[in-house]
Amino acid sequence: MTDSQFYVVPTPIGNLKDITLRALDVLNKVDEILAEDTRKALSLLNHYNINKKITSYHRDNEKKHIDAVLKKLQNGVKIALISEAGTPCISDPGYFLVNELIKNNIKFEVLPGATAFVPALILSGFPSNHFFFYGFLPHKKEQKRKELEKLTIYKTTIIFYESPHRIEETLNLLFDFFSPPFAVVREITKLYEETIFINDTQDVINLTKKGEFVVIVNNNEKDNNTLQNFDFHKICKNLFNENFNKKDILKILKILGMNRNDAYKLIETFGNIKK
C-alpha cells in the first residue's frame, strides 16, 4: 500500500467471497470508512472481523460532508469509501468527492473489484467488444422515454441498471425503441441469480420483480444477410392483403426485428393506427 490517504474500495455485490485480499488489507489499515449503507457495511466488516469507524456517506449528504472529509485527510486520517455494493462512483456516490480530491492534490487509490454490469454483459451473450453503459434511467416515464429515444443512435450494446419497482415500465418502453430480445440479469452472485431473455410483453409479466436488475440491449447493426434483407414494406402490404389486423401486423414486424416506431410509421402508410 502506498502513502495514499484515500481509497475507493469495491465490495461484493452479493456473495461476500467476492472481495479481494487487497480490499481487505485496505479496510484493515484505514482509520475510517465512508459507507453508503452503514448497516451493510457493518455486516461486511463483522464477517471479516474488521473493527473500524463507519460514517454514513450517501447521495443526499455527499456534498455537505466533503469539506469535513477533506479536512480529515489533510490531517493525516486514512479513509476508505465503499458503496452499498460493488464499485463506488459507478451509479453510486463518490464522484463529487473524487473530483475534490483531484482539485486539492490529495493522493488516492481506486481498487479494482466487483461491479454488476460486467458479468451481466457477458451472461447476455451480446457483443461485448464495445458497449455503452448508461446506468439508471430517469424515474419519470416521459423523461425515460426521451432518453431511450436519444440512445437509439448508439449502434452497440447498451447497459442499464434498474430497480424492481420500475423494471416493468422500463422493459415495456424498450419495445418502443429497440428490437428484442433484451437480456435481464437479476440478483447477480446471489442465491437466486438468473438471466432472462425478454422477447415480448408476456415475458415482462412473468418476470420476478425482486432484487436489483441489469438490462442489456443488443442495438448493434444487424447482419446484412438476415434482417436487413427483409422487404418490410412488401411484408406489411402482403399482411394487409391477407386481412391481418394492424395489431397483429405490428407484432409480426417487431418479431422480424423492426423497431416499434418504424413499424408504426410503416403501418400508417396503409392506414392510421393509434399509438
Map out the domains of the chain with their CATH numbers: 6-110 (3.40.1010.10), 117-218 (3.30.950.10), 227-268 (no CATH)
Predicted pLDDT of residue 1 = 45
Sheet holding 108-110, edge to edge: 53-56, 32-35, 79-82, 6-8, 108-110
The pTM of the full predicted model, rounded to 2 decimals, is 0.78
Rounded CA separation 178/153 (Å):
11
Predicted pLDDT of residue 3 = 66
Predicted pLDDT of residue 229 = 59
Question: 237 falls in which pLDDT band (50, 70, 90)?
Answer: confident
Predicted pLDDT of residue 271 = 65
Query: Mean pLDDT score of the chain, rounded to an integer?
Result: 90
Q: Are residues 84 and 10 in contact, defined by beta-carbon separation less than 8 angstroms? A: no
C-alpha cell at 92: 453510486
Q: Please say if the pLDDT value at position 144 is more than 50.
A: yes
Arithmetic mean of pLDDT, 105-134: 95
Q: Determine what percent of the chain is predicted with pLDDT higher than 70.
A: 94
Predicted pLDDT of residue 260 = 77
Arithmetic mean of pLDDT, 57-61: 84
Predicted pLDDT of residue 132 = 97
Chain center to CA of 198: 16
Taking only the tens place, the pLDDT of each residue in 170-229 is 999 999 899 999 999 999 999 999 999 999 889 999 999 999 999 999 999 765 444 455
Predicted pLDDT of residue 61 = 82
Taking only the tens place, the pLDDT of each residue in 243-273 is 888 888 888 887 777 777 778 888 887 765 5
